[in-house]
Structure 1
Amino acid sequence: SWTGIFLPLFVVAFSIMWTFGLMAWLELSVPIIGGLIPIMLIAIANNYGIHIISHYYEYTVLDKELSRGVILRRTMNRLGMPIFLAGATTIVSFMSLMSHELPKVREIGLLVSFGIAVAFLLSLFLIPSILILVPRPAYLSKRGSMLAVNEFLVSWGRFFSKYRVPFLVILFIGMFWFSLGIRDITIDTVPEHFFPKDSKIRIASQVISRAFGGSTQLNILIEGDIYDPDVLSHIDKLTDHIKKQNASVTSTYSITDVVKKMHFAFHNGNYDSLKIPNDRELIVQYMFLYSLTGDEDDFNLILDDPDEPSFTQVFIRIGEVHTEELMALVDDTEDYIHAHYYDNRPIKPMLAGPAAMLGAVSHLVVRGQIISLAYASIIIFVIMSIVFRSLVGGILATLPMSLSVLLIFGLLGNFGIPLNMTTSLLTCILVGVGVDYSVHFLWHLREHIREGNTMEDAIANTMKVSGKGILFNGISVVVGFSVLMYSVFMPLKAFSVLIMASIAFCLIGGLAILPAMVSLVDPKFLYE
């Protein structure tokens, strides 16, 4: 059906265009992870349209004599609340990113939430308006239309309902084993690792690391009376501590190196004189003599004013860069500063430069991931519990999503895929899609039970209608994102693999775990 293909794509395209239009209207720049906005919208925004069209076609097959208007009203009566809940919970999951400490991640959360809201509204109003105008596909009137798919889904649901205990035991044992990989999750926010190992920019960085001691550095801004011997001694102690405690540091350069070498030279190369002199006036004279014979621009990199400096800069050169080592370096340096200069005397050191920013971003990525995931999970659990008027209903609705999050973090650790700003957005998709599938399954299962179906028949009927929409949506997203595996931008490549795994986990949650759980628990809220 061309209608079934193009209507969801039309909604996705409009949501993407309007989202980038909002970005331009708000004068927001596109961040390095901004390319993920259309990817996330494609993964989520087509859900609502696919469910509407799937139910519309299924109800047509059940009673071919009814008019398009009657079928459409039945579809929207059945789907209105589940789609509203799916859209609301997905928007909540992305709005939870507003709690993130990184401004660009907050912007991503706001923009994707807007795009999902657009897709939600277009799916509710535009798609039904077009469906009522165009004729239904001819294949729907044929006997046995989609029979093979229906039989597969019904058999699938009955299999997991029948063997629910062994399936759930094996599932939870496997998940426990797989989740042990969470301990091995690594963090990587180094930009050069965004490129393949054979890329020119990465090869050049490796050459610089081997030949020149590294292409990344930590800058330390020092405020104080720079020519004071005590101040220079503390700067020297700080750089010595950094070199001794961090094997990744290849070299340091500061004003103390200049002063010690001049003092060494004026004492005929006596090794004992390779130190900071105790006389401030002598240090001033050394610097004055240097200014007479050297270039006056020689100190532009390390002093704000060669005559009366109040700020100086220390350069810490770092070898081959790994995020864990950068974080350890930055944390150790900050701990040393807080322990020795908590009152900003005699010096006031402040960290800056690429290494400091990468270290800070790494901490923010981890902290933001935990906080946003916690907010989204708690809020969605509360919403689901209120909607189903049952804590058990809230647990069942969020269980597939929770297990999928656990599995994806286990995947990160077991396969060595690093956590960065790109992969940290995956949990929002997992929460959004996982709850979407759960809501549709549980809502329609409850309706079939209220109509007098037994649990077995209700699961079978739910799989034929809601299960079909879930399956088609999941397969279309997985196949669509498989092309990104050929991207040369490593975060995007990793993201494509993870998003396919995420959707696969959500499919298992919606079409296998939920049928097994509800048939095992037989929750009361389904009958109320």
Structure 2
Amino acid sequence: MKKWVTKALDRPWIAIIITAILSVVIALFLPKLRFDADLANLIPDNDPVIEQLKNVTDDFGSQSLILIAIKTENIYQASTLEKIEQLSIEIKDLDGVEDVISPFNALIVEGSEWGMEVVRLSDYIPETTEEIQRYKKRLNESPYKDILISQDEKAAIIMIKPDGAIEPGTETVLAGHLSDLVASFRGPEEIYVVGDAYGAYYAEETMKRDILILTPLVFFVLLAVLFLGFRSVKGVLLPMVTVAISALWAVSLMALLGIKMSIVTVLVPVILLAVGSAQGIHIINRYFSYLNQTNDKKTALKNTMEDMLSPILMTSLTTVAGFVSLVSSPIPPVRYFGLITGFGVVVAMLLSLFFIPAVLNVLPQKENNKKSTSTNSTIIGRVGVKVAKNPTLTIFIYVLIALVGIWGSFKLKTEGNMLKYFEKNSPVILGTDIVEEQFGGSLQMTVVVDTKKSNGVKEPEVLEKLEKIESFLVTVPYVSHANSLATVVKEINKAFTDEYKIPDSSEAVAQELLLYSLQGGSDLEYLVSHDYDKAIVTARVANAGSEEIKSVINTVEEFLDREFANDQDVQVILTGMPKVIYRVMDQFAKSQITSLLTSSIAVSIIVTLLMKSFLYGLLSILPLIVTIAVNFGFMGVTNIPLDAVTSMISGIAIGIGVDYSIHYLSTFVSERRNGTDLKTAIYNTGVKSGSGIYLNALTLFLGFLTLVVSNFRAIKLFGFLTAMTMLLSAFSALTLLPAILVKRDKEKIE
């Protein structure tokens, strides 16, 4: 590597031209970048939960619940009712819509002189008081009571069934069309699109806005920090050009490989801007230090690269290890994030080693940066000596802090519900709140009952099992509005016999279902398979927190196991979006454990090998253990959950935070090898490495802190927490390591 760095210094224009050409070529793939915020994609495709959801979608159509929520002071105003009807008609004409159920076109079964007939709830929009009262009576006597119009008459919903034949992921496109359509109808009524697909659509749009806002914001924040640190055009522009190129290459690689931008990978360009600048900062800092001493550009560059080659390689490899450790995560977007960001860090390292020295070499030496961070460095050196004089007390304080953090971490919870990522005033939350408050829930849970034989569902015993499941589901907290073929059969039978019950024979069931179909009943395909071997029971689940959804899933599965585990006639499976959320929670916990272990081990091994010391490999991790303990403890105490974004903090903190330890330990080892006494070595280490560590930590702190302006609550918390870990890990390296080194050498500093 040293030979190639020397060649880049000797032939700088070659390095500059190669960098420019490669950047232009790879940027050509950028327009192919796509976005995807589907919650189900946080789970591997071969996961049983996803396979079950795909199977039930193949058999019964989409299990995604898309609703239009309308809220006003009085839903029975003529203008509002007319708007609901017109909106329903226009929704039906949209591509990707299979069926629409509104307060007027919903089908009900009525007795007639011919036996029964299937009719709409209303063939006209009620206008007079008499018509409205007649409609209310008809609605309240139907299965749609409190389902389409709320009990307090202030809200209504339109239920949309997406076309089961549309390509996966296009439901979000449909949600976008619905959002545009609803906007044209809004006012004075509140009208919102609600459901999984709209949540994914809104998340994708939010990600696009975040990239357009956060990327330039982080860029300009770093510019300001570097200007304050270096007061030099070179010191500002070169690190920023480096990180801009590395971010460009990383995002273009995503487009080239077909990796979609998700709630996790949207952080790639922003994080690379913050993280990728570290190596350039250290090189520029050391270059100006030598330039002040020698006032000769070539000598300063030569000395800088000799000093910084090994630390840059070490810190880059450990940072890459921190990110690549996320590949062990069971969550696909987290794995992609780790790989792509790791690639970006490698690019930033290569640019720092070849591109920055090459550009410095061709630029005229017009400035001699006499202003430096000597004041900060001197303070850091003195602080190191101060804590080294009381090593036992320093170590005790850190141990105590770590123990408190570990105690708080036991309160940590996981969150797999994507709605918790959004702000409370966002349309996706406002619409969901209406449905939750007025209609009981916006998530659809599905129980599949498989008889393994054709027409098996027509048997009264099987229908009674569907009825039993329905009856149980509505007793579970957060669950409402259960429905199945059993309810439809009872409605049909009531029209025929005036008895609301399941007929006693399979023949009677088959005859009634046939007549229902002939009369225009079109909703059976959503509840039973074509050859009547499978049926589903659906229910709405409140979009509560993951812990509540976990309780729902456990309660329902315990019931199903208890009632049907030994049933030889049917096989029962629970699926739906609540099950996906439950599974995602489990994935977050596993992701956290695996990334923490793999990153810690990988970083320790790399430092051990490169510094040829197991002790230094261990020491490099100790400040990070304290940092991560404090982070988890703070999250637990303040009720910040582990989610798709915050679950990455530990791996990132280790990969980035270890840089401070490496720079500190590398400088300390160099001082001791030169025969410097312990006190002077600690002071000199603080002075020499302190400026770079201070500026690097400040850059990362402000870079991550800018994420608090994100439109995602999860990313705001990620930015704040990661910014805090950057400061704490730097401070720990500068204060804990001197104390440990003094203890190791068993020397007393006066």
Q: TM-score, normalised by structure 2?
A: 0.64
2:355 matched residue in structure 1: 126
d(CA) in 2 for partners of 1:18, 1:251: 50
SS of corresponding position for 1:132: helix
Q: Which residue, out of 218, 231, 249, partners 2:479?
A: 249
How far 1:198 moved relative to its partner?
2.1
User: Is the CA contact 2:442–2:542 (under 8 Å) kept in the aligned structure 1?
Assistant: yes
More helix by share: 1
SS in 2 for 1:35: helix
Matched with 1:82 is 311
Separation of aligned partners in 2, 1:502 and 1:243:
45
Aligned partner of 2:237 in structure 1 is 6
1:32 matched to which residue of 2? 263
- After superposition, the Cα gap between the structure-2 partners of 1:310 and 1:77, relative to the gap in structure 1 and judged at 3 Å, is same
Q: Which residue of 2 aligns with 1:397?
A: 620
What is the aligned partner in structure 2 of residue 169 from structure 1?
A: 396
Structure 1 window deviating more from structure 2 (314-323 vs 120-129): it is: 314-323
**2 CA distance for matches of 1:296 and 1:243?**
25
Give the counterpart letter for 2:413 in structure 1. Answer: T
**Larger RCO (CA within 8 A; separation ≥ 6):** 1
Deviation string 1:75-114 (CA, Å, 9 cap, x unpaired) is 2222212211111122122222222222222211111111
Would the aligned equivalents of 2:479 and 2:541 in 1 still touch at CA under 8 Å?
yes
Letter of the 1:25 partner, please give it: L
Partners of 1:356 and 1:37 in 2: CA distance: 29
Counterpart of 1:383, as a letter, is I
CA contact (8 A) 1:384 1:394 kept: yes
Q: Say yes or no: does 1:377 pair with 2:377.
A: no
**1:229 counterpart residue number:** 460
- Taking the TM superposition and a 5 Å limit, the aligned residue runs for 1:104-119 are 104-119=333-348
Matches within 5 A, 1:458-469: 458-469=681-692
2:332 is aligned, of 98, 103, 111, to: 103
Asked whether 1:290 is paired with 2:513, we answer no
Q: Distance in 2 between matches of 1:344 and 1:442?
A: 66
Q: Deviations over 1:373-425 (max 9, x none)?
A: 21221222223333344432222011112222211111211222221101112
Shift of 1:372: 2.1
Question: Which one of 467, 475, 488 corresponds to residue 258 of structure 1?
Answer: 488
Deviates further, 483-492 or 77-86: 483-492
Task: Note the residue ranges of structure 2 that are not aligned, 5 or more in a row.
Answer: 1-231
Taking a change above 3 Å as real, the CA distance of residues 367 and 243 of structure 1, as seen in their structure-2 partners, is: farther
Matching residue of 1:433? 656
Cα distance in 1 for residues equivalent to 2:638 and 2:345:
31
Task: After TM superposition, give the deviation of residue 288 of structure 1 in Å.
Answer: 2.5
Corresponding residue of 1:301: 526
Aligned partner letter, 1:432 = G
1:216 and 1:321 in contact (8 A); partners too: no
What is the alpha-carbon distance in structure 1 between the residues aligned to residue 746 and residue 450 of structure 2?
66
1:167-226 CA distance string (max 9 Å, x none):
221222133223322122222232222222122321221111111111112123332222
Question: Where in structure 2 are the equivalents of 1:333-412 lying within 5 Å?
Answer: 333-337=556-560, 345-412=568-635
Q: Against the structure 1 CA distance between its residues 340 and 518, is the aligned structure 2 distance closer, same or farther, given a 3 Å change threshold?
A: farther
Q: Compared with structure 1, are the counterparts of its residues 478 and 141 closer, same or farther at alpha carbon in structure 2 (3 Å cutoff)?
A: closer
Shift of the 381–277 alpha-carbon distance from structure 1 to 2, 3 Å rule, reads farther
- Give the direction of change, closer, same or farther, for the CA distance of 1:204–1:10 in structure 2 (3 Å limit): same
The whole-number CA distance in structure 1 between the counterparts of 2:406 and 2:713 is 24
Cα distance in 2, alignment partners of residues 119 and 147 from structure 1 = 27
Identity of aligned residues (%): 29
> Structure 1, residues 320-378: CA drift from partner, whole Å, max 9, x if none?
42111112323444455556656884323333332122222121121122112212212
Q: Secondary structure at the match of 2:449?
A: strand
Q: 2:294 matched to 1:69?
A: no
Pairwise CA distance, 1:508: 1.5
* Residue aligning to 1:44: 275
Note the 1:134-173 alignment, pairs <5 A.
134-135=363-364, 138=367, 140-141=369-370, 145-173=372-400
Residue type of the partner of 2:415? D
Cα distance in structure 1, aligned partners of 2:563 and 2:285? 67
Give the match's secondary structure for 1:499: helix
| Equivalent residue number for residue 642 of structure 2 | 419
Residues 1:472 and 2:701 aligned together? no
Per the alignment, in what secondary structure is the counterpart of residue 276 of structure 2? Answer: helix
> What residue number does 2:546 align with?
323
- Whether the 8 Å CA contact 1:433–1:506 is kept in 2: the answer is no
How many residue pairs are counted as aligned between the two chains?
512
The two structures have a TM-score, normalised by structure 1, of 0.90
Partner of 1:195: 422
Letter of the aligned partner of 1:173 in structure 2?
L
**Residue 261 of structure 1, CA deviation:** 4.3
CA gap of 1:312–1:9, structure 2 versus 1, over 3 A, is same
Tell me: CA distance 1:81–1:241, structure 2 relative to 1, closer, same or farther (3 Å).
farther
C-alpha offsets along residues 461-504 of structure 1, whole Å, 9 cap, x if unaligned? 12122221111011122223333323332122112211211111
> Is residue 2:435 matched to residue 1:208?
yes
Is the Cα contact below 8 Å between 1:33 and 1:421 reproduced in 2?
A: yes
Residue in 2 that maps onto 1:484:
707
> 1:240, CA displacement in angstroms?
4.1
Which residue identity lines up with residue 452 of structure 1 in the other structure?
G
Distance apart, 1:132 and its partner CA = 2.6
Helix, strand or coil for the counterpart of 2:458? coil
Counterpart CA distance in 2 for 1:409 and 1:397 is 20
The unaligned stretches of length 5 or more in structure 1 are none
Report the Cα offset of residue 130 of structure 1.
1.8
Change (3 A) 1:335 1:80: farther
In the alignment, the residues of structure 1 paired with residue 314 and residue 349 of structure 2 have an alpha-carbon distance, to the nearest angstrom, of 11
Which residue is 2:169 aligned to? none
Separation (CA, whole Å) in 1 of partners of 2:327 and 2:563: 36
- Matched with 1:519 is 742
- Give the superposed CA RMSD: 2.4
Once residues 330 and 372 of structure 1 are traced to their aligned partners in structure 2, the CA distance between those partners, rounded to angstroms, is 27
Do the aligned partners of 1:150 and 1:464 also contact (CA within 8 Å) in 2?
yes
Aligned to 1:16: 247
Question: In structure 1, what is the Cα distance between the partners aligned to 2:632 and 2:705?
Answer: 20
Take 1:174 and 1:123, find their aligned partners in 2: how far apart are those partners?
36
Counterpart residue type for residue 440 of structure 1 = H
Task: Give the letter aligned to residue 364 of structure 1.
Answer: Q
Check whether the contact 1:44–1:429 (CA below 8 A) recurs between aligned residues: no
Would you say the 8 A contact 2:473–2:482 is kept in 1?
no
> CA 1:248 to 1:462, structure 2 compared with 1: closer, same or farther past 3 Å?
same
Task: State the SS of the aligned residue for 1:452.
Answer: coil
The amino acid that maps onto 2:744 is V
Taking structure 1 as reference, are residues 31 and 435 closer, same or farther at Cα in structure 2, changes over 3 Å only? same
Measured after TM superposition, the shift of residue 157 of structure 1 is 1.4
Comparing 176-185 with 202-211, greater Cα deviation is found at 176-185
